[in-house]
A = this chain, B = another copy of it.
Amino acid sequence: MTPDEFRRAAHELVDWIADYRARVASFPVMAAVEPGAIKEQLPRTPPERGEAFERILADVDRIIVPGLTHWPHPSFFGYFPSNGHLSSVLGDYLSTGLGALGLSWQSSPALTELEEIVTDWMRQMAGLSGAWSGVIQDTASTCTLVALICARERGSDYSLARGGLQGEARPLVVYASAHSHSSVEKAALLAGFGRNHLRLIPTDDAYGMRAQALLDAVRRDVDQGLRPCAVVATTGTTGTCAFDPVGAIAEVVRGTRMWLHVDAAMAGSAMILPECRALWEGVEGADSIVLNPHKWLGAAFDCSLYYVRDAEHLVRVMSTNPSYLRSAVDDRVKNLRDWGIPLGRRFRALKLWCLIREQGAEALRARLRRDMENARWLEAQVRAAPGWRVLAPVRLQTVCARHAPPGLEGEALDRHTLGWVERINRSGRAYLTPAVLDGRWMARVSIGALTTEEADVAAVWSAMREAAEGSIKRSHRDA
């Protein structure tokens, strides 16, 4: 494909993307396909001969789009907002088109230096002190794994340079809230701690970690000859957007060798709002933070920021220095391969840079405030409606609701909840991802897609009432 063939196809493509974004509200939110339905339409063997890009794009329309759940849809309330703002999409287009690779500073100096600049912009926007250094990783799962490996190496005084975890006599232990994300458990297991050395600490009424329970667990482990190694504090849990008390947890680890990692993957974006920062008060007492601009803030996926206070330790754990990667300036530059797991790196800074520049911090703050206001509006509606309950404090943009009319409880209530949520999802009108809270299913309404306005939140609330209350009426009538 020559640059001129690319030019023609790319013009067609970006028109197609602009059209897609403009008409996204017209699609059913959730893909209405059965498992295997997409595969059935695709050839099982690779083509010998090339074909025109137009034909590929036609297949995207015909086969791929019907198999998408539409994350940019204004009625997407599932999981968490994962916004690829169009300005950030352009930044990513630059990155892919340039094809520059960051193996070392020298392999593309601008890639490294722009990353230093924009991660520092984001640090300032989130109100963090100058003690933090940032780097872009792919996802929070990876950042948390990196954090726990760094904790392991500090706690074991660099066991990797000796026998690894295999040479350690006194096991290291990791602590996290019982509401922490599944990636925390996964990271602890992948890093070799073992499930027996992971403590899930109970939470309070608002689903935040109980700092006293953490302290008790740490003391018990010390008494038993174990070594408390790391705490993961979550600021904005996935289930209910609950906040662990970072300040109180920081007090527990202070003066010990324990590592405090703050998982602010989703809610970290909210820290660009000064009025939200009380929610992670004490964060300066942490050792590492993960914050994903590719969620609510609007950077195109993947753009996960990992901040550390002791960059030297990170590099000591992650560094490699083979001859084929050395350059004459290595002592004067950052080689970001030593700040994470992968060696190769895309020019990801461009997509965050384009987002922040094209939008400006002011517009980003205004959008997040819009979403929080919409969440408060929905919260008020749910509270006021008979038979409905709000199940957790609405701190930011997640509303946890359950329709529990009198007489409906236990497994019948679960069937009711999963039933009405599934009916909404299948209708294509809106998309919600339910979750279990205190042993029972509930509906999560995670607000914050770029296109979601007050009217869309009002519409999902109507859909919820219809789907939940209507089914009760029907079952009464049928009985």
Contacts and interface: CB of A to CB of B under 8 A. Distances in A.
Interface string A81-103: 01111110110111011111101
A202 interface: no
A131 interface: no
A31 interface: yes
A160 B125 CA distance: 39
A301 B117 CA distance: 23
A87 B1 contact: yes
17 contacts: A6-B17, A35-B105, A38-B109, A38-B110, A46-B124, A53-B90, A64-B114, A68-B110, A69-B109, A79-B324, A93-B96, A139-B344, A141-B344, A152-B192, A163-B197, A323-B434, A325-B433
Interface string A1-43: 1111111011101110111111000000011010111110010
Interface in A391-437: 422, 433-436
A189 interface: yes
B323 A161 contact: no
A60 interface: yes
B114 A42 contact: yes
Nearest to A107: B69
Contacts of A363: 50
Q: What is the size category of the interface that chain A forms with chain B?
A: 35 or more
Contacts of A435: 322-324
A361 B167 contact: no
Contacts of A72: 99
A182 interface: yes
Contacts of A3: 18-19, 21-22, 86
B333 A35 contact: yes
A134 B210 CA distance: 42
Contact of A117 (B6, B39, B66, B159): B39
Name, among A71, A94, A357, the residue most crowded by chain B CB atoms within 10 Å (CB to CB): A357
A114 B125 CA distance: 38
A35 B292 CA distance: 28
A453 interface: no
B113 A38 contact: yes
A38 B114 contact: yes
A165 interface: yes
Contacts of A172: 166
Contact of A51 (B69, B138, B357): B357
Given A35-B333, A51-B360, A186-B341, 11 more contacts: A6-B21, A33-B109, A47-B357, A67-B113, A68-B108, A142-B342, A163-B171, A166-B192, A166-B197, A301-B346, A341-B341
B79 A99 contact: no
A89 B79 contact: no
Contacts of A138: 138, 342, 344
Interface in A140-194: 140-142, 145, 149, 152, 159-168, 171-172, 181-183, 185-186, 189-194
Interface in A200-235: none
Name, among A138, A171, A356, the residue most crowded by chain B CB atoms within 10 Å (CB to CB): A138
A438 to B, nearest CB: 11
Name, among A89, A98, A322, A343, the residue most crowded by chain B CB atoms within 10 Å (CB to CB): A98
A453 B204 CA distance: 67
A194 B159 contact: yes
A456 interface: no
Contact of A343 (B183, B344, B441): B183
